[in-house]
Amino acid sequence: ILQEQVDFILIEDPDFLIVDGPSTYYDNSYQSIDLKAAIESLNKIIKQTRLCKMIVDHHLTRDIDYKQKIFE
């Protein structure tokens, strides 16, 4: 998630959000950095908005091990 997108979401203060989760099925170091940044951004959005429901779209869930990767 780009910082501009995070800022926009924080300003809008949604209670419902649909996000196109980061792809975790590519195995490279850039992807690991990108995934960590995406998770940090999503955590910031969750903590700083009135969000009560978030749907994570297809990219993240294509990886059979996505739950393990996002909780690492």
**pLDDT at site 30:** 56
The whole model's pTM is what?
0.75
List pLDDT tens digits, range 33-70.
788 888 899 999 999 999 999 988 777 777 788 788 77
Query: Cβ neighbours of residue 1 under 8 Å, at least 6 residues apart?
Result: 19, 37, 38, 41, 42
